[in-house]
Amino acid sequence: MMYRVHAKSGKPVYLQLVDQVRYAAASGALQPGDPLPSIRPLADELRVNRNTVAKAYASLESLGVIETIAGKGCFLKKNDSPLTKQVRHRLLAARMDEAVVTAHQMQVGPEALRGLLEERIRFFNGRKAAAQPGAKEKEQISAPASPPSPSPTAVNEMERWTPLTD
């Protein structure tokens, strides 16, 4: 997996790394048990301080996304959430509320927001299917068969977006 950081994005570099790992895990690009690059080579490759990469990895570990095995490195953890279903739904609802408010501020209507959500679900399902050949359809999030496709301008904008997470 290629990691990228954008110094002018206004977002701390360690959070950019955290988001990229979480995004890769959600999309299926990283599978449970996959190793993450060692801190020193990744820091050298990205031309950032080693402490920045270490901070990102510590944050990912505290979030339960990765686990560190002494002498072996950092690995993506299996997604066994200790939170109850009700708590997970409340947390997700809070994130969705943020997205709805942001859409309202950007003057994006409800239908366009639904279309974007459905497009993102299809995108992640496609990434999971590509990463796991033979995966069963019932494991994927279901989305309507023919939602509206985004305009070319919207697609270009989406490509520049970085997933928003804590």
Mean pLDDT of 15-30: 86
Residue 70 lies in a domain: yes
Please indicate, yes or no, whether residues 25 and 57 belong to a single structural domain of this protein: yes
pLDDT tens for each residue of 133-162:
554 444 444 433 333 444 444 444 444 444
Please indicate, yes or no, whether residues 87 and 114 belong to a single structural domain of this protein: yes
Q: How, if at all, do strands 66-69 and 73-76 pair?
A: antiparallel
Whole-model pTM: value is 0.56
Q: Which domain holds residue 86?
A: 81-129
Q: Distance between CA atoms of 125 and 128, rounded to whole angstroms? A: 5
Residue 116 lies in a domain: yes
Beta strands in 12-97 (DSSP E): 66-69, 73-76
Q: Which of 92, 123, 91 is nearest to 26 (CA)?
A: 123
Residue 160 lies in a domain: no
Q: Distance between CA atoms of 31 and 27, rounded to whole angstroms? A: 9
Residue 152 lies in a domain: no
Provide CB contacts within 8 A for 16, sequence distance 6+.
4, 5, 6, 9, 162
Helix (H, G, I), strand (E, B) or coil at 82: coil
Residue 101 lies in a domain: yes
Residue 111 lies in a domain: yes
Q: Which residues pair with 76 in a beta bridge?
A: 66
How does residue 95 score in pLDDT terms, banded at 50, 70 and 90?
Answer: confident
Residue type, 13: V
Residue 155 lies in a domain: no
pLDDT tens for each residue of 36-51:
999 999 999 999 999 9
Q: Distance between CA atoms of 97 and 78, rounded to whole angstroms? A: 27
Please indicate, yes or no, whether residues 36 and 67 belong to a single structural domain of this protein: yes
CA 13 remoteness from chain centre: 15
Choosing from 76, 97, 121, the residue where a domain stops is 76
Please indicate, yes or no, whether residues 58 and 86 belong to a single structural domain of this protein: no
Please indicate, yes or no, whether residues 118 and 65 belong to a single structural domain of this protein: no
Residue 24, pLDDT > 80, answer yes
Domain count, the chain: 2
Please indicate, yes or no, whether residues 87 and 119 belong to a single structural domain of this protein: yes
Q: What is the CATH number of the domain that holds 17?
A: 1.10.10.10
Check residue 131 and give its pLDDT.
64
| Torsion of Cα atoms, 82 then 19 then 71 then 79, to 10° | 30
How does residue 83 score in pLDDT terms, banded at 50, 70 and 90?
Answer: low
Residue 156 lies in a domain: no
Please indicate, yes or no, whether residues 55 and 106 belong to a single structural domain of this protein: no
